[in-house]
Every structure is written in structure tokens, then in C-alpha cells.
Amino acid sequence: MTPPSFWNHGHTPPWLLRPVAWLFAEITARRVAKPGWSAPIPVICCGNAGAGGAGKTPLALDLATRLITRGHHPAFLTRGHGGTAKIPLRADPALHTATEVGDEALLLAALAPTFVGANRAASAALAIGQGADILVMDDGLQNPGLTKTLSLLVIDGGAGFGNGHVIPAGPNREPPAIAAARCRAAILIGPDATHAASALPPTTAILTADIVPSTPDLEALPPRLLAFAGIGRPTKFFETLRTHGHPPLAEIAFPDHHRYSQTDLATLRTRAAALNASLVTTAKDLVRLPPADRADIHVLRITLAWANPAGIDALLDEALTRP
């Protein structure tokens, strides 16, 4: 979906939506309060308060990379948003498409075993049976099916918590302060343009990181670009290109998890040709394209650069040693 404009920071929602938002928040609170299955291995949850992207997948990849470096065998759990899979399964980029398992699952599976399913406990059991010694959840903060050892609240610094209200009056699944109260720390990605930190309880630990594009990907980009993206906040991708010396000649935004049709791709190529430009997109968008359509499209992959790497490592130590 395309979020309504009143979901943005500082906007006041229509008053008729506020009772519905209160009911939505109450239902979420009751669901979250239900007990979940306690796995025999640590469970780390990368979640957020709002609907849509905040940087959960880059954070999950970062954490798993750190765990692998330490000699652990992490597995990812993801719902597979946008996919058609109904039962828990292990995502295999050689067998599955984004239509089946979702785009995040394909990105995660390139690094570590990834298990897709709405039932997080069933996915966890499947992962443990295949050798995982720690689980990293991409999303699931509002899902009570699995008890978390360490929960991290991911915040997109550019978007914050929108207008601060709960769906449908705003972009949040629950009030941000309530989400933060269940988390060991908040992970603020990018400058806090909307002062989101002020909405958190004063005792919330906050770690900060920035999006860093892949140097080889940047060096491979031609000078003339048409950028397109169907992610939670496409403007973040376009801004990354501008910030790192590759301002696009045109920027085309699609809805999050958009399934590109051949008509979409033909239109993009026609517009690029008219500008004598090359196409560039995100890694998340690229996995949603048929392999045959990827050859002429550049990709800009990203990682996280921490202001204090010791801080996130300390949280991992805590999760690994907690009973």
C-alpha cells in the first residue's frame, strides 16, 4: 500500500480514525501479552513499532555476520512478507522466488539458513532441527509465538514514528514507547530527523548506525542513472545515491514489495533510454526481478556502519550468555 500523507511526521490524523487506532493498539497489546514458546537456543528479534521498512533486514544481516565471525551457526526467521508460502520452509534462492518466500528471505538466505513462516515457533523448531545454535528474527516484535532473548527496536532516522499514531490513524502497530519497553535497546539508523528518540522511555538505550553503500557497487555505477525502488521508503535509496556522488537523473518509486511486471520493466527501460541512462535499484528490488531481467540493471547493496561497534557486540554477548 501507499501510506496516506497524514501518516507523516507532524500530521494530525482524521479524528474518526482515533477510536479505531485505540482498538488496534488494544488488540496488539493483548496479542503480545500471550506467552510464547521458549526455544532452547537464544532468539534475537530485530523489530520495529511501525508498518513497513525501518532497516530490520540490514540489522539482521549485520548481527548474523558478527555471529558467524564468532563461530556460531545462526539461522534467520522471517514471515516471508509478500510470499505465498503457507507452511514453514527453508528458503532456497536456487529453488524459490520472491513470489513464493518474499524478498527479505532471499536476501537473508544468501548469508545463512533462512526459515519462512507466520508461525515463528514452528519455523524455530525447523531451524533448530537443521543445526542452528542461535536465531535471528527479521521482524516479529508484535508476534508472541516465540519468546525473545534479546529484542531490538529498529528506527529509521529519516521517518521516525511518523505522526506517532497507531494504524489506521498513523503508521505504527503499537505506541512506540510500549514497543520500546519490551526491547533491550533501540537501533537508530541514520540521523534522527524527526526526533524519534524523544518518543522513547528515558531509560531506553540507543545505539546509532548509518547506511553505507558497497564500495564495489558504487565504483561500478555509470555516471548517468535512472533509479527505481519499491521498498518501505524509496527516498532513502535515492538520497544514498545522491550523498555518495551519484545523483540520479530520474527517481521512480514503487510500493513496498512491488512485484515488477514486464510492462513495468519495459517502461523503466524506455525512460532510461530516453535519458541515455542506466537503471539502478536496491538488492531487495533486484531479487524480485526474473533472473533474465537483471543483467542490465545495476544494484547498490548496503551495510551498517556503527558509531559504537562495541555496543552492539556487548548486546550480542548478553544474548549469548543469558539462560
Each residue's pLDDT tens digit, 291-309: 899 999 999 999 999 999 9
* Strands of the chain, DSSP E: 43-47, 74-78, 89-90, 114-116, 134-138, 150-156, 185-189, 205-213, 225-229, 250-253, 278-282, 297-300, 302-306
Q: 3-class DSSP state for residue 78?
A: strand
Return phi, psi of residue 210, to 5°: -120, 150
Mark 161-194 as b/e (b = at least 16 C-beta within 10 Å).
Answer: bbbbbbbbbbbbbbbbebbbeebbbbbbbbebeb
Are residue 223 and residue 200 in the same domain, yes or no? no
Output the average pLDDT for the chain: 93
Average pLDDT estimate for 256-284:
95
Are residue 238 and residue 175 in the same domain, yes or no? no
Which spans in 70-119 are helix H?
98-101, 103-109
Are residue 227 and residue 180 in the same domain, yes or no? no
Would the pLDDT of 153 be above 70?
yes
Are residue 110 and residue 47 in the same domain, yes or no? yes
Are residue 145 and residue 219 in the same domain, yes or no? no
Average pLDDT estimate for 6-15:
82
Asked if residue 7 is part of any domain, the answer here is no
DSSP code string of 258-286: ----HHHHHHHHHHHHHTT-EEEEEHHHH
* Strands of 30-145, DSSP E: 43-47, 74-78, 89-90, 114-116, 134-138
- Report pLDDT digits (tens) over 48-102: 998 877 889 999 999 999 999 999 999 999 988 777 777 899 999 989 999 899 8
Are residue 196 and residue 219 in the same domain, yes or no? no
Would the pLDDT of 2 be above 90?
no
Angle between helices 56-69 and 309-321 (to 10 degrees): 70
- Reported as half-sphere exposure (CB side, CA atoms, 13 A), residue 142 has a value of 19
Are residue 88 and residue 25 in the same domain, yes or no? yes
Are residue 36 and residue 143 in the same domain, yes or no? yes
Would the pLDDT of 3 be above 80?
no
pTM score over 0.85: yes
The boundaries of the domain holding residue 52 are: 14-211+305-321
Are residue 270 and residue 313 in the same domain, yes or no? no
Q: Say which residue the cell 521516525 belongs to.
A: 160
Would the pLDDT of 23 be above 90?
yes
- Report pLDDT digits (tens) over 263-275: 999 999 999 999 9
Are residue 115 and residue 151 in the same domain, yes or no? yes
Domain count of the chain?
A: 2
* Strands of 40-164, DSSP E: 43-47, 74-78, 89-90, 114-116, 134-138, 150-156
CATH number, domain of 226, equals: 3.40.50
Are residue 144 and residue 293 in the same domain, yes or no? no
Asked if residue 3 is part of any domain, the answer here is no
Cα(312)–Cα(66) distance, integer angstroms: 10
Are residue 169 and residue 234 in the same domain, yes or no? no
